[in-house]
Structure 1
Amino acid sequence: MDGAGKRLPPEFIQAYSEVMEDERAPVADSFAMAVMLYRKKSPAFRKMKTKGQTARIKYLDKWLEMPLKAGQPAANAPLSVFDSRRIIKFITSHRDRVWGHSPSAADEAVLALSAFLTWCKKDGRLDWNRAHGIEPLYERPTEARIWSLEEQAKFLETASAHLAWAFKLALHTGLRREDLTRLPLSAITKQHLIIPTGKSRGRNTALIPITPPLRSLLDEIDAARAKLATAPLTILFSSKGKPWTAEGFGTSFDRHRSRMGLGPENDGPTIHDMRKTCATNMVILQHLYPALISDQVLTDLFGWTPGTLAKMKRIYVSDAAVIEAMTTSI
């Protein structure tokens, strides 16, 4: 309605919407226009699950901000700039600047760009995929390692309370990043944490015993939650009093471990190594809390065979000094 209370004619509204859409539309034949078309037309992108599409779009949006000559963003540049070999140095520089704190995220970003450029090539828009063949930064270990007590202490030395809680909860539960950050308060029972796992898409449930050290950690977090104006429904929350996102927690985790000299450049342990560390801790703590941590709990939680469990016990539980050090540290 206009100022006099009259309804505007439909043809005026349509014409206005078209003008505004034209103003917002990307420049023809530009990188941004190609990204928009990729989202609409790429069969591979359209087949991705919503979570995957969201992650892919976030990476591509960051690539649109990539500065080219004179610092101009790549968004409005002709898509054809990606046919030039010179674009490679801009790609790697932008990758290192935006995702340098996390080699795995940097590699995912390049994979997202490469998938887009592959579609452009197949669609006849480009002759080359210049992102193909860029060396990955993250070297995946052949076997998970364990966070040593010294490394744990070093990480926690200057970690914020909210990051330290997440770190300790990961050590106690072995949950993957996505399950850890969305762990709801409703998961807490008298003796266990119960949560459907994201990797199984909710079909499987993780049953995690609440040992006295874990109960103490949950009580500490709960005391801080009680001071918030609006308490989140997740066990963990950031310094802003909001639930962590998996990506936000991962970024904060990687930045802090690098600051503490535990990053990939120093061959430090990763967030993925927390699960094996937890498994080791559980085997050791079973010696103290056999009623809570049964053999069945361990085999179900970590997918072990009885033979694997027996091997873990032979390695870790035979050393009384290890047990004493473990129980005093957590």
Structure 2
Amino acid sequence: MMTWNGRGTADVRARLVGLHKATKRLSGGRVAIYAYAFRGGDLIARAEGGSLDAANRAMELELGRPATLDKIDKARRQVRQSESRAYIRGLISAFKASPEWAKLGKSSKVAYAYYLADFDAEFGDWKVSIFERAETKIDLIDWRDEWAETPRAADYALQSVGRLFKWARGRGLSNARPTDDVERLHSADRSDIIWTQADIDAVLRASSQEVGWSFRLAAETGLRLGDIVRLPWSAIGAEGTVWKTSKRGRQALIPHTPAMRALIQEVPRLGPVFLSNTRGKPWTVDGLKSMVRAAKREAGIKGLHFHDFRGTAVTRTYLVLPDPDALARIFGWDRQSVDALLAKYVSGDAVALDLLSRMNQKRAAQTDDKPVLRSDS
């Protein structure tokens, strides 16, 4: 077997995989090469030469020394310990074992785990402290840009990293904010997009009664598909639906519209869950997603997503609860978005009547006007 400084060639080469090298030209024309255990890791060796070739030959000799190979093993051994939260790999492992991770919704866990696994593959050997340096943004953006052709995925990748470091800051493990000030690639604002009645009628004609119920429920409550398949009968009260949403874990109290009351009367009670599929069993998320896609395709609906029903629900709930501030709280939007949506889609008569009512209430409060009971005497 060929050897290199007394060690097996294959063994040496395997241990040198992943080394990060940097070259620097010194005064007098000499060249220095620096070898690190990994990008962002500890300095392992330094070699000089009168030219680049000479410096490379000197570095090869240095890397073949037993003491240098031992330094590489020691540096990497720290990273292989997943509990070492000083490194990105250990930080991710600790985050996924935390109670904050346990509180995340199922879909969020799946998405975060996917992108953090890729982040780990790229930066797992890096020290967490490196991300406190401004220049590290260049490497992070280069990684994010691997998804540039799918902007939403690129933004979610960056969001996953931002969530990791937010947790780390809360635990006092880092001060890094590597995702701050990084522009998002996907900038579509869908807060003013809704399903019109014509859109809803089209998908109802193209779907079974059971799938149609899901469209109608979404239009009246604004619940996401993941919440719709889990919504129990016990959450549906006499005047409204009370449900803790999976997305943000907040409790929503949604007043019943006349159409929602009609739907409640129409849907048969086959079990603890409100909606059932054609076999009388609760929907799965994937099952309902598949049927929703098929109905949209059959109806020729393009450019609308299931979560766009939130805007539809805002406009419909306004007719039973004409209070924009309350609507903003119920649906988790800011007041400006609610006002813009109502101005665009709710009839002018309804808005005008609400405005007139509010003006009268304000005037009455300012003048202390009160009803006067008259008696004929």
**TM-score, normalised on structure 2?**
0.45
Give the alignment partner of residue 155 of structure 1, picking from 180, 187, 203. 203
Give the alignment partner of residue 306 of structure 2, picking from 237, 257, 271. 271
Partner of 1:209: 255
Q: Give 2:146's aligned amino acid.
A: G
Query: Where is the helix percentage greater, Structure 1 or Structure 2?
Result: 1
Partner of 1:219: 265
Worse overlay, 44-53 or 237-246: 44-53
Q: CA deviation at 1:184?
A: 1.1
How many angstroms apart in 2 are the aligned matches of 1:274 and 1:237? 20
Distance 1:248 1:314, change over 3 A: same
How many angstroms apart in 2 are the aligned matches of 1:240 and 1:183? 18
How many angstroms apart in 2 are the aligned matches of 1:305 and 1:248? 32
Q: CA deviation at 1:299?
A: 3.1
Q: CA deviation at 1:159?
A: 0.7
Partner of 2:220: 172
State the Cα deviation string for residues 266-323 of structure 1 (Å, max 9, x = none).
xx2011211112212223xx1xx4xx5545542321345556555544444444699x
Do residues 255 (structure 1) and 301 (structure 2) align?
no
State the Cα deviation string for residues 140-196 of structure 1 (Å, max 9, x = none).
561211223332222111211111101110000011222222111111111111112
- 8 Å CA contact 1:236, 1:244 repeated in 2: yes
How many angstroms apart in 2 are the aligned matches of 1:311 and 1:118? 38
Q: Give 1:142's aligned amino acid.
A: A
- 8 Å CA contact 2:232, 2:274 repeated in 1: yes
Q: How does 1:32-181 map to 2 (within 5 A)?
A: 43=90, 44=92, 47-48=95-96, 49=101, 112=114, 116=117, 119=120, 133=146, 135-136=149-150, 142-144=188-190, 145-181=193-229
Partner of 2:327: 298
Aligned-residue sequence identity (percent) comes to 27
Distance 1:57 1:270, change over 3 A: closer
Query: Where is the strand percentage greater, Structure 1 or Structure 2?
Result: 2
Q: How does 1:308-323 map to 2 (within 5 A)?
A: 309-319=338-348
Q: Give 2:311's aligned amino acid.
A: K
Cα-Cα RMSD: 4.1
Counting matched residue pairs gives 210
Paired residue secondary structure (1:133): helix
Distance 1:132 1:45, change over 3 A: farther
State the Cα deviation string for residues 86-133 of structure 1 (Å, max 9, x = none).
xxxxxxxxxxxxxxxxxxxxxx69x93x75466456679xxxxx9983
Partner of 1:65: none
Q: Give 1:153's aligned amino acid.
A: D
Larger radius of gyration: 2
Partner of 1:191: 239
- 8 Å CA contact 1:117, 1:131 repeated in 2: no
Q: CA deviation at 1:206?
A: 1.0
How many angstroms apart in 1 are the aligned matches of 2:325 and 2:109? 42
**TM-score, normalised on structure 1?**
0.51
Q: Which runs of 5+ in 2 are unaligned?
A: 1-81, 84-88, 126-142, 154-185, 352-377
Paired residue secondary structure (2:203): helix
Distance 1:133 1:216, change over 3 A: same
Q: Which runs of 5+ in 1 are unaligned?
A: 1-39, 59-107, 125-129, 226-230, 323-330
Q: CA deviation at 1:53?
A: 10
Partner of 2:355: none
- 8 Å CA contact 2:232, 2:272 repeated in 1: yes
Q: Give 2:251's aligned amino acid.
A: T
Paired residue secondary structure (2:146): coil
Partner of 2:68: none
